[in-house]
């Protein structure tokens, strides 16, 4: 018997999911459907900040979202074991140290995981798993989950058809305090990576200006400029120019990572010292070298710690949420 055109349940659930997400995202943010059909990205969220009661201003920050819908999700308590720094080595669990965490589980096809892996870590891609019945949305960063869990733990994951993603129940959009901090942080990923690149370049140039080497390598540049001496005023001009490139970046106002506003204070102190020229030049020189070492170390902290935030790992559970997990140490 011939039938009329039909609408499948999955499309109905998809529309419901989008409505649930929209209700739980700040109203002054903009959500756009990315493309139809989609090939991994369903939504793009553009972040805005409120200027006054009538105006919100774009931050130029975007989060890309893969949306998955289920009729209803079950939660379970799972042991999360201590793991070493996977940025430095393979996945090794310490079975004697663990915490118990309430999580949800979602099977995810490895084709999608591989697609997101190919994007790298410079664009924030989040997985939103929507529980239709309970109108809850659970989130996790796919970039970080792939780099910090899947690749070190299951490097041959492409040999299987799907992989189960584990998401802490704390990561739900209705939990506004956690959600706002997390999404703001993910939105700043591109700005953070741009900052790390900029200060790394500046540090190299500053070391060259001062004739300071922290590595035992003699470069071609060192050879052709070995007799070149930079005058104090020339160096000051260059330093103030470098500061002008970074001191007005809005990334320093991200109070959720306290090292950023603290770093801005240190930059302004150096700027003031250079302008006033009231202390001995060698003292300024040392302060500059130390500061740019600290600025480049932000990238190391980001990779070691920040990319673990909001993941089902002990370091993430200890550093992401208002309440510390109970850590159990067995003898």
Report the percentage of the chain scoring pLDDT > 90: 75
Mean pLDDT for the stretch of residues 20-48: 87
Model confidence over 235-278: pLDDT tens digits?
999 999 999 999 999 999 998 899 999 999 999 999 999 999 88
Mean pLDDT for the stretch of residues 194-208: 94
Mean pLDDT for the stretch of residues 128-147: 96
Q: Distances from the Cα of 153 to the Cαs of 113, 127, 178, in angstroms?
A: 14, 19, 27
More confident site: 78 or 3: 78
Non-local (6+) Cβ contacts of 124 within 8 A are 62, 63, 64, 141, 143, 186, 187, 189, 190
Non-local (6+) Cβ contacts of 309 within 8 A are 144, 182, 185, 316, 319, 320
Model confidence over 109-124: pLDDT tens digits?
999 999 999 988 888 9
pLDDT at 36 over 90: no
Non-local (6+) Cβ contacts of 34 within 8 A are 41, 42, 43, 44, 64
Model confidence over 300-312: pLDDT tens digits?
999 999 999 999 9
Do the beta carbons of residue 162 and residue 154 sit within 8 Å? no
Q: What is the pLDDT of residue 218?
A: 67
Q: What is the pLDDT of residue 6?
A: 46
Lowest mean pLDDT among 229-238, 286-295, 298-307: 229-238
Average confidence score pLDDT of the chain: 90
E-state strands within 84-193 = 93-109, 125-131, 136-141, 162-168
Packed helices 259-276 and 281-304: angle between N→C axes, nearest 10 degrees = 160
Report the percentage of the chain scoring pLDDT > 70: 90
Mean pLDDT for the stretch of residues 191-215: 90
Asked whether the whole model's pTM tops 0.75, one would answer: yes
pLDDT at 217 over 80: no
pLDDT at 104 over 50: yes
Do the beta carbons of residue 52 and residue 111 sit within 8 Å? no
pLDDT at 187 over 50: yes
pLDDT band at 172 (very low <50, low <70, confident <90, very high): very high
């Amino acid at each position: 018997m011939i039938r009329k055109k039909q609408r499948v349940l999955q499309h109905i659930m998809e529309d419901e999911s989008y409505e649930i997400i929209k209700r739980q995202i700040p109203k002054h943010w903009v959500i756009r459907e990315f493309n139809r059909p989609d090939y991994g990205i369903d939504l793009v969220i553009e972040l805005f900040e409120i200027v006054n009661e009538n105006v919100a201003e774009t931050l130029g920050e975007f989060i890309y979202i893969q949306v998955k819908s289920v009729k209803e999700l079950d939660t379970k308590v799972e042991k999360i074991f201590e793991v070493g720094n996977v940025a430095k080595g393979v996945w090794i669990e310490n079975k004697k140290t663990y915490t118990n965490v309430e999580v949800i589980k979602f099977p995810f096809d490895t084709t999608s995981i591989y697609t997101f892996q190919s994007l790298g870590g410079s664009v924030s891609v989040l997985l939103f798993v929507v529980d239709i019945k309970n109108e809850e949305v659970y989130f996790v960063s796919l970039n970080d989950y792939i780099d910090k869990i899947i690749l070190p733990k299951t490097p041959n994951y492409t040999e299987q058809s799907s992989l189960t993603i584990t998401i802490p129940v704390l990561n739900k959009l209705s939990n506004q305090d956690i959600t706002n901090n997390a999404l703001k942080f993910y939105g700043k990923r591109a700005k953070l990576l741009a900052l790390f690149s900029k200060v790394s370049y500046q540090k190299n140039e500053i070391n060259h200006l001062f004739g300071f080497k922290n590595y035992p390598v003699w470069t071609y540049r060192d050879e052709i400029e070995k007799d070149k001496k930079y005058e104090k005023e020339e160096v000051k001009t260059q330093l103030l120019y470098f500061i002008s490139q970074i001191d007005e970046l809005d990334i320093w106002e991200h109070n959720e990572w306290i090292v950023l506003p603290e770093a801005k204070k240190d930059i302004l102190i150096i700027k003031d010292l250079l302008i006033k020229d009231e202390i001995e030049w060698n003292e300024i020189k040392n302060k500059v070298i130390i500061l740019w070492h600290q600025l480049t170390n932000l990238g190391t902290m980001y990779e070691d710690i920040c990319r673990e935030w909001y993941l089902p790992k002990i370091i993430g559970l200890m550093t992401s949420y208002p309440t510390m997990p109970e850590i159990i140490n067995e003898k």
